[in-house]
Structure 1
Amino acid sequence: MSEGSNWVEIVLLAMLAAFIGLRLVSVLGKRTGHEPVVTDKFRPGAAEVNAAPLRPLEATPRAPIKLPEGTNHALMPALTALAEVDPNFEPQRFVAAATSAYQMILEAFWTGSTSAMDGLVSDEVQDNFAAAIEAREGARLSNRIVGIDAVTITGVEMAGQMAEITVRFVSRIASQGEETPAETADIWTFSRHITSPDPAWLLIATDAEA
């Protein structure tokens, strides 16, 4: 075979190799670095890391309520039930607030200022006080509280979302011209909507113990 024919064969083989290479590239494609990783199902992979399950928050049990001094222990279940539906309720704190309201309301009534009762009494009670003040022609009374001897919760009721607490106040009240203060016992009922954001209890009824 001549030297020229050898060169022809070499060129033809090179062209054939290039053609085969181009076909392989077109069929198999190129690696781009984003190919899916092929895993061997017979070789275990890395262990999956699972987050620890969240433990449900446990409700903190409420401490047992304390009865104010002089309160009948028979009222404990009713007061406890009220505290369970109204987490802000605490009997001793309620008694302190009721005592302050008792003093402010009486002083407002004696001075003839019904506006000073705003936020402390219901509309009906305020109207009753206003009628009594009008009946005395707006005269200012010289009464004053000498001392409050006892404040006792005597009743607790729930009417739907409304809570009512009845309180007995025993006080000594002095009037002008009297040397000895008179002892009085007042029965007042306070009410509050337990879902209201306003923590205030309103006076909804008054009565004097015989």
Structure 2
Amino acid sequence: MVVEIVILAMIAAFLGLRLYAVLGRRPEQNEEPVRGRVEQPDPAAAPRPLQPRLAENPAQPPRPIAIPAEATGFEQEAEAGVRAIIGADRRFDVSLFLIGAKSAYGMVLEAFWRGDKDALGQLCDADVFESFAAAIDARVAAGEQLDSRLIRIEEAKIVAARFDAPIALVTVRFVADIASITRDANGVLIAGSLNDAIESRDLWTFRRDLTSRDPDWVLDETDEG
């Protein structure tokens, strides 16, 4: 019986030493570790290395406001103001604006010549309207009759522009040929000629609130150019 116990103890010690040799120590140099029958992990199931994630809305540097190459209807001094207006309203187009400005120039002059205050009130700022209205009243009081014609617009160019949020202001220089005569209360010619057009140079400033749904610009200031 004692012999059997001693034998079992020796077997247990031997097994313990073998387990330590396999699991409890690191393999010596040039010694390959004992390979168990543990299944190799599935590479597909292994955790993937973390990838850097970009912000969903990364901050982008402001892009310069592009002005179309064909947009040449402004002086160099007005370029910064034009860019500011385009930055606030991407629908602003220099060429289309100047087409509208030419049309407004003709409509305002013709309304003034015929004394149409209602039309002037729709096209002009209050201060400009009052100036035109006072000149019409003085003409009527003197009994004078005005007969003027816009022959042609030689030039319409933006010479100044600025954006004072939310107001955009654009100044246009008009060079036009105008023929005009003035008659007294009796119809006698007292000034001008319809045969000889005179060059007129005007600086008109147009204003618009860019937050307004109204797309129209109004005449904000007039001056000789």
Q: Give the TM-score of the pair, scaled to structure 2.
A: 0.62
Task: Report if the CA contact (8 A) 2:111-2:120 is conserved.
Answer: yes
Range with greater deviation from structure 2 (170-179 or 185-194)? 170-179
Q: Which residue is 2:130 aligned to?
A: 127
| Identical counterparts, % of pairs | 36
- Counterparts of 2:168 and 2:208 in 1: how far apart (Å)? 5
**Separation of aligned partners in 1, 2:74 and 2:164:** 22
- CA offsets, 1:133-169, max 9 Å, x none? 0011164410101110000100011223111100000
Aligned residue number for residue 99 of structure 1: 102
Tell me by how many angstroms 1:81 deviates: 1.9
Aligned residues: 152
Q: Which amino acid aligns with 1:86?
A: D
Aligned partner letter, 2:210: I
> Which residue matches 1:184?
200
Alignment of 1:90 onto 2:106: no
1:147 aligns with 2:162: no
Q: Would the alpha carbon gap of residues 122 and 90 (structure 1) be closer, same or farther in structure 2, given more than 3 Å must change?
A: same
For residues 153 and 124 of structure 1, the distance between their equivalents in structure 2, rounded to whole angstroms, comes to 22
- Select 2:67's aligned residue among 60, 65, 68: 65
| 1:1-210 equivalent positions in 2, closer than 5 A | 64-66=66-68, 68-137=71-140, 139-176=144-181, 178=193, 179-209=195-225
Counterpart-to-counterpart distance in 2, 1:145 and 1:90: 26
Opposite residue 174 of structure 1, the aligned amino acid is A
Unaligned 5+ residue runs, structure 2? Answer: 1-55, 58-62, 182-191
In the TM superposition, what whole-angstrom CA distance separates every residue of 1:102-126 from its partner, at most 9, and x where no partner exists?
A: 0000000000011112331111111
Output the TM-score relative to the length of structure 1.
0.66
Residue pair 1:68, 1:152 contacting (<8 A) in 2 also: no
In the TM superposition, residue 73 of structure 1 has moved relative to its aligned partner by 3.1
**Structure with greater strand percent:** 2
For the aligned residue pairs, the C-alpha RMSD in angstroms reads: 2.3
2-side partners of 1:97 and 1:154: how far apart? Answer: 16
Q: Aligned equivalents of 2:89 and 2:198: distance in 1?
A: 37
